[in-house]
Structure 1
Amino acid sequence: MNWRIFPKKRAVDQKKSKKREWFDAVLFAVIVATLIRVFFIEAYVIPSASMEKTLLIGDYLFVSKVNYGARVPMTPIAFPFAHHTMPITETKAYWDGVQWKYRRLPGLSDIKRNDIVVFNLPVGDTVALENQEPSYYNLVRQFGWKTVNNQYTITSRPIDKRENIIKRCIGMSGDIVSMKAGLVSVNGQPESLKNTGQMPYKIQVKTTDINFEVFKDLGFAVNEMEQVDATTYIANATSEMIDKLKALDFIKSVSLAVKPETIDDGDLFPLDPNRKWNVDNFGPVKIPAMGWTVKLDSNTMPLYYRAIRTYEGNKVEQKGNTWYINDQPATSYTFKMNYYWMMGDNRHNSIDSRYWGFVPEDHIVGKALFIWMSWDKDATFFHKIRWNRLLKGIH
């Protein structure tokens, strides 16, 4: 007698096909790698010289999302491992139809002064795709809105899909920053540039018969030195390099080559005709802090207008001598976020807060930890890897 009353059960433990195994493995790897990249650590490469000599072009870094607390994705629907643009098609790598509000997981610490921080470019909300100018707004000031919008493809980007930038945090929320003769002061205290950063120096020598290998041995980029006359050069250097240079017998004098206060660069933050600032002389500027209330008038609004309107999402307009926020007359404003002042260590070759102002906390990506690879594309084949920089911590 056959007691089987149910049909034979299909084996569910049959082996998966090779294609299915590969698909599952790749999918799992992509999910895990994406979670690590979003919430723990991300690779970053230095594209410009704005942080020399702390960071060099071709340095590959690991950036920690854990230190300051990982930012929950604000644009959740995006192609894995692509930031804002697909590598081949040059199309958007995300869909901004779904936007989440800013939230951040608990971190190990707050941002500290002099931390090296990766963040989204504050003025990267609008971009001219065919132009490498970091700010669409600079293009508009130079050529006019109509010319720029007719000549280039203009797009907008959500906060977490704006260009990633790396700088040093010079000022914290609530700090007052200023700069005079190339020296930054925070809350009235001078903050000397560390030995890893550099400034331009005017170097006068006693003779025209110079062995430039001496300069090279001290770390100078000889090919970038500018010759003013037969015995005068302008060169970027750290304070440590300058101290060693002054000890050489053929050096006549060395001094900082900075702009006088009378020069107005014109294109610096906050683009206020009443503030004649340049890259070596600016401020004082108070950095907004969460809960700080500022009085609104003709003196403060040039500094804080963009933070109030763009970063904190308010409708701001002026009618006569009265400012209106969200259609209500306002004589003051209380900030909802913390802000920071970021600057490059290569002070005369850095587009930073001197140009676009404060960095809001919701733009912060993470803290630079260490260099895992350094590649010098201009070196000969056997010297392309900078071995002395591998696994070097960032300070």
Structure 2
Amino acid sequence: MDYDFSFFLAVATLVTGVIWGGYLLVLKARGEIFDEEHEPILVEYARSFFPVVLIVLLLRSFIAEPFRIPSASMMPTLLIGDFILVNKFTYGIRLPVINKKIIELNEPKRGDIVVFRYPKDPTVDYIKRVIGLPGDRVAYYDKKLHINGQPINQVSLGRYQGVGQGEDMTGNEHLLEDLTGIEHSILIRSGALSAEGVYVVPEGNYFVMGDNRDNSNDSRYWGTVPEENLVGQAFFIWMSWDWQYKGVNLDRIGTALK
């Protein structure tokens, strides 16, 4: 069990619900009518906060959860300081805190941007792009992908100009990669060393990589992501704030992710 924000939301919902509901039961047992003006202060707070924390818990657990991008590993798709929304139900409905799936829905597709619990430390959330599906054979050599023997096409878009906290990415090669029908931008740093090899994706697992290929700690280094570690699919940038650049970046707000 992870003692994260969802855990504390669940505890707050339980405690406030028990206090408020328990008070109402006591009044009913006494044959008394609820009087808002004479309720104890603790019950007043519980009654006020219970619906709020319950709604937040339900929204974060089953609808969408906000995340902030802290690193450059998904540049140029996601910049440091982007605030994103993650669809929590697209890969199935899971119970909060224990993360047990109770309703099967969709499965991740190649090219999806996913948030997941880092397999080496499940208390930490990572965000990467799905490259390999269960059963796939993924090869990465000379900074190029091959999936099940098929080379993945890359088209140069020139040199990348970074801004703000991502300014040190300036000069990297900016490429448009066609991931078997899913086009997205990636960055490559010429001369940089990165892990290479052939990887076979086990059943129930996914091979993920960052779009900033030479600045990403991903499946090339620590293996695949088990299905039960998935949190959801990133789909929307609702805010972007980089204190080293120009504060709020209005151009990125409202961007749909792909």
Shift of 1:42: 0.6
* From 214, 227, 239, the counterpart of 1:348: 214
* From 35, 60, 64, the counterpart of 1:37: 60
Quote the residue 1:150 is aligned against.
none
Residue 71 of structure 1 contacts residue 365 of structure 1 at CA under 8 Å; is this kept in 2?
no
Quote the residue 1:106 is aligned against.
104
Quote the residue 1:368 is aligned against.
234
Alignment of 1:188 onto 2:149 = yes
Residue 70 of structure 1 contacts residue 104 of structure 1 at CA under 8 Å; is this kept in 2?
yes
Change (3 A) 1:29 1:223: closer
TM-score in terms of structure 1 length: 0.49
Shift of 1:220: 4.4
Find the residue that maps to 1:35 and give its secondary structure: helix
Q: Which has the larger radius of gyration?
A: 1
Shift of 1:35: 1.8
Quote the residue 2:135 is aligned against.
174
Quote the residue 1:391 is aligned against.
254
Change (3 A) 1:42 1:223: closer
Change (3 A) 1:190 1:256: farther
Shift of 1:189: 1.3
Q: RMSD in angstroms over aligned alpha carbons?
A: 2.8
One-letter amino acid of the structure 2 residue matched with residue 224 of structure 1: D
Quote the residue 2:168 is aligned against.
224
Quote the residue 1:282 is aligned against.
197
Give the unaligned 5+ runs of structure 2. Answer: 1-29, 177-187
Shift of 1:103: 2.8
Please list the CA deviations of residues 136-167 of structure 1 after superposition, one character each: whole Å capped at 9, or x if unmatched: xxxxxxxxxxxxxxxxxxxxxxx5xx210000
Shift of 1:13: 3.9
Residue 87 of structure 2 contacts residue 235 of structure 2 at CA under 8 Å; is this kept in 1?
yes
Distance of 1:173 and 1:394 partners within structure 2: 23
1:1-395 mapped onto 2 (5 Å cutoff): 11-16=32-37, 17=39, 19=41, 20-73=43-96, 75=98, 102-107=100-105, 109-124=106-121, 159=122, 162-192=123-153, 219-220=161-162, 224=168, 235-239=171-175, 257-258=190-191, 278-279=194-195, 281-283=196-198, 285-289=199-203, 338-379=204-245, 383-395=246-258
Shift of 1:235: 2.3
Query: Structure 1 or 2: larger helix share?
Result: 2
Distance of 2:222 and 2:52 partners within structure 1: 39
Residue 68 of structure 2 contacts residue 81 of structure 2 at CA under 8 Å; is this kept in 1?
yes
Distance of 2:252 and 2:190 partners within structure 1: 29
Please list the CA deviations of residues 11-43 of structure 1 after superposition, one character each: whole Å capped at 9, or x if unmatched: 504234484344312122112211221122111
Residue 94 of structure 2 contacts residue 103 of structure 2 at CA under 8 Å; is this kept in 1?
yes
Please list the CA deviations of residues 367-394 of structure 1 after superposition, one character each: whole Å capped at 9, or x if unmatched: 0010000001112xxx311101111101
Distance of 1:192 and 1:354 partners within structure 2: 20
Shift of 1:195: 7.9
Change (3 A) 1:256 1:386: closer
Distance of 2:84 and 2:167 partners within structure 1: 27
Query: Structure 1 or 2: larger strand share?
Result: 2
Please list the CA deviations of residues 91-131 of structure 1 after superposition, one character each: whole Å capped at 9, or x if unmatched: xxxxxxxxxxx434222x2100010000000111xxxxxxx
